[in-house]
Amino acid sequence: MYLGFIKEVHEIFEYDENQYKDVIYSQWLIFIRKGVLGLELFNKELLNWGDCYAQSAWIFVNYLLDNQIDNQKILEINYNEELKTLNIILDK
């Protein structure tokens, strides 16, 4: 994840500016998805996480959700109980 944000690394693969932004956007989506899916690894009885990386991703997701400006939503997570679907919307 760290190397993905270094522009010089992307230059090795000859990405242009738009491709660089798309890769960064994809990395954010993957990390947020990991945080949400990592909830399966949380043990409610023991109040313990099965994976420290999932826990850190979830903490980051919570930070993004809790610190958004009302008129500038960056992240939105919607769960449809009836359809059992989860939508993650990340504003570019």
Give residue-wise pLDDT tens across range 56-82. 999 988 888 888 887 777 888 888 889
Describe the chain by its helix, strand, coil percentages, rounded to 5. 55, 20, 25
Number of folded domains in the chain? 1
| Residue of 47, 56, 52, 92 lying closest to 72 (CA atoms) | 92
pLDDT in tens, 32-45: 889 988 988 999 99
Contact 32, 88 (CB under 8 A): yes
Instruction: Write out the residue range of the structural domain in which residue 56 sits.
Output: 3-90
Q: What is the pLDDT of residue 14?
A: 86
Q: Distance from CA of residue 21 to its chain's centroid?
A: 15
Sign of the dihedral defined by the CA atoms of residues 63, 64, 70, 75, in that order? negative
Whole-prediction pTM: 0.73
